[in-house]
Amino acid sequence: MTSSVASTDSILAIDIGTITTRVSIFDAVGSRYRFIASGTAPTTSAPPFSDVREGVTRAVNDLQSITGRVLIGMDGILLVPSHPDGTGVDAVAATLSAGPEIKVVTVGLLEDVSLESARNLATTTYATISEVVSLNDRRTQDARIDAILHARPNLIIVAGGVDGGATQSIHTLLEAVGLACFLMPQDERPQVLFAGNSDIHEDIQETIAPITELHIAPNIRPGIHTEQLTPAQVTLSKLFKNVRAQQMFGVSDLDRWADGRLMPTSTAFGRIVRFLSHIYDPHKGVLGIDIGASSTTVATALNGKLAMRVFPQFGLGANLDNLSEFIPVEHITYWLSQEIPSSSVRDYIYNKAAHPASLPATIEEMDIEQAIARQIMRAAVSQVMASLPFESKGPGGDLLPWFEPILATGGVLSHAPTPGQSLNMLLDGLQPSGITTVVLDQNNLLASLGAVAEANPLMAVQVLESHALLNLGTVIAPVGRARRGTPIIRVQATFDDGRETKIEVKFGSIEVIPLPSGQSAQLHLRPLHRFDVGMGGPGRGGRVRVVGGSLGVIIDARGRPLRLPSDPGQRRESMKRWRWALDN
């Protein structure tokens, strides 16, 4: 990668989340681009303001007070482009995750073919599938129309028919869509995204376009065994903007400030994960997870091929009170390091849902919130891993494939009292295997960098190479099972100054080898009892060079899959011991 500045553009990145609006400025410092600072303010999409622009203005004012740089003119308008006196910025990038769930109806021919692809497309943004219509759902045409009317969707995604295939069946479904839209009040009619057989584009223009807004994307299922979502995701991002502009004041202005480049936060997050998969180990994928107030996003990419899913049901904000529909409370108490009654956990969940901007006020509340985050990660990642569209190497089974690196963002992680607690949540929730680097997005920049790359790719690259992200350390997680206390791996670390450290790590423990950021070491790994560290198979070791992080080198010898003691008292003591190992 080049190391010089190609231009002197400065960019203001605006990210409007459910709870917080954050603005970050990136600019040239010397010969390279850098993250300068961020300003924050509460998001104002809800009453009493009901206008996202108010939150943006307050966040920019906060940024101005931090940097001393004038970004807003006397008329209250952002100064774009920058002025010769150094005021303003040259460009704006914007991402958005705030807003109610987008209600989607998916329409397709077969449940396990086109409907599956339509569902996969919908779950790449902040959407909830409220109705599914297919040829084999055994309903009459009138019943299908009634179902669409009852769902009152914001968006209808129509898929079906391989390119060059039969068209009559999809015409039948389109008839139901068109009639349902016609029967709705004109200002409530959904947008329709058609991503099916390209042979009927002209017919669908005649059928749907006169009734409601129609968008056509390339076929997401061009062949019976081929799924391609990426081209349709571009169109879906535009539809997202349209829906949000109808739901919230100020979104159209935000898109105009960004020169039409406003995109869903999840899309921008997936873009940066896909970009990094071109840079890192081509034999390992890149994993990114974003735990937000309204949803959790999981993105994986291998050699530029992205798989991403947004889980609106797994947010840590207002929809938290619905979590019990997907995760039993007993699965949350499983991760508590203190004895806290299930009733107290439920009370915290309901209070958090009522006051999503609140932070844990006691150690017990923090323990509950971190336990929820662990279980959300487990639930979200397991669903993504079950349907990866590419062949990823790893230990097999239900275990996480080999990833390098793992990127994590979200307030519950970045606001943890110590980096050790952040890593502890990630080790328990994701359960990485083999050898990987874990990076914490402590400044919540990843999605913004994904949006910035649209205007200035070099800037995104150079900011990623800087210290804007926190390298928590290199994690070595041997895969296998053994009796607790049995030695499972021997590690010899040779540091750059010639010092050596040798440790033997026992099953059920977490050990840390200090290695400060900026320093590196050569590790010689020798797995025992056929444990697998991703170096060629069970029992095979070797040498690997690692770079230091805030916590150094972490050997997680608790086995994969991670099984905590069944006795609650022993389990809590184990969790305290593991936390102590990472915090000391």
- The count of domains in the chain is 3
Q: Which pair of tokens denotes residue 490?
A: 């021997």
Considering 38, 68, 96, which residue would you say is the last residue of a domain? Answer: 96
Confidence of residue 8 (pLDDT cuts 50, 70, 90): low
Confidence of residue 226 (pLDDT cuts 50, 70, 90): confident
For the cut 60, the answer to whether the pLDDT of residue 1 exceeds it is no
Residue 547 domain-assigned (yes or no): yes
443 and 428, same structural domain?
A: yes
Mean pLDDT of 371-380: 95
CA 79 to chain CA centroid, Å, is: 31
Q: Give the whole-number percent of the chain exceeding pLDDT 70.
A: 97
109 and 55, same structural domain?
A: no
Rounded Cα gap, residues 318 and 298, in angstroms: 20
Mean pLDDT of 183-201: 91
Q: What is the CATH number of the domain that holds 69?
A: 3.30.420.40
- Largest distance between two CA atoms of the chain: 78
pLDDT of residue 284: 87
109 and 91, same structural domain?
A: no
Rounded Cα gap, residues 228 and 141, in angstroms: 29
Residue 262 domain-assigned (yes or no): no
For the cut 50, the answer to whether the pLDDT of residue 317 exceeds it is yes
532 and 394, same structural domain?
A: yes
Mean pLDDT of 204-231: 88
Rounded Cα gap, residues 520 and 474, in angstroms: 11
pLDDT of residue 165: 67
180 and 134, same structural domain?
A: yes
124 and 149, same structural domain?
A: yes
For the cut 90, the answer to whether the pLDDT of residue 194 exceeds it is yes
pLDDT of residue 389: 64
215 and 111, same structural domain?
A: yes
Residue 258 domain-assigned (yes or no): no
Q: Which helix (H) or strand (E) holds 255?
A: helix 251-257
Residue 353 domain-assigned (yes or no): no
Least confident of 162-171, 388-397, 511-520: 388-397
pLDDT of residue 4: 41
For the cut 90, the answer to whether the pLDDT of residue 168 exceeds it is no
Task: Say if strands 470-477 and 553-557 run parallel, antiparallel, or are unpaired.
Answer: parallel
How many C-beta neighbours within 10 Å does residue 306 have? 22
pLDDT of residue 52: 95
185 and 49, same structural domain?
A: no
Domain of 536 in residue numbering reads as: 268-309+387-583
Amino acid identity, residue 19? I
303 and 161, same structural domain?
A: no
Q: What is the CATH number of the domain that holds 130?
A: 3.40.50.360
Rounded Cα gap, residues 351 and 364, in angstroms: 14
Confidence of residue 376 (pLDDT cuts 50, 70, 90): very high
Q: What is the CA radius of gyration of the chain?
A: 25
Q: Which pair of tokens denotes residue 517?
A: 């950021």
492 and 422, same structural domain?
A: yes
Residue 305 domain-assigned (yes or no): yes
Which residues make Cβ contacts (< 8 Å) with residue 165, sequence separation at least 6?
197, 199
Confidence of residue 119 (pLDDT cuts 50, 70, 90): very high
For the cut 70, the answer to whether the pLDDT of residue 5 exceeds it is no
Provide the 3-class DSSP secondary structure of residue 34: strand
SS (H, E, C) 453-506: HHHCHHHHHHHHHCCCCEEEEEEEECEECCCCCCEEEEEEEEECCCCEEEEEEE
Considering 96, 112, 145, which residue would you say is the last residue of a domain? Answer: 96
Mean pLDDT of 154-165: 83
pLDDT of residue 434: 93
Q: What is the pLDDT of residues 281-313, one digit of tens each?
A: 878 889 999 999 999 999 999 888 888 999 999
Residue 114 domain-assigned (yes or no): yes
pLDDT of residue 570: 94
Mean pLDDT of 404-419: 94
Rounded Cα gap, residues 450 and 137, in angstroms: 40
305 and 238, same structural domain?
A: no
Considering 96, 120, 142, which residue would you say is the last residue of a domain? Answer: 96
Return the higher-pLDDT residue of 569 and 31: 569
Return the higher-pLDDT residue of 30 and 212: 212
pLDDT of residue 166: 66
For the cut 50, the answer to whether the pLDDT of residue 2 exceeds it is no
Rounded Cα gap, residues 79 and 529, in angstroms: 64
For the cut 50, the answer to whether the pLDDT of residue 6 exceeds it is no
pLDDT of residue 197: 85
Residue 216 domain-assigned (yes or no): yes
Angle between helices 265-277 and 230-247 (to 10 degrees): 160
134 and 79, same structural domain?
A: no
Residue 369 domain-assigned (yes or no): no
For the cut 60, the answer to whether the pLDDT of residue 279 exceeds it is yes
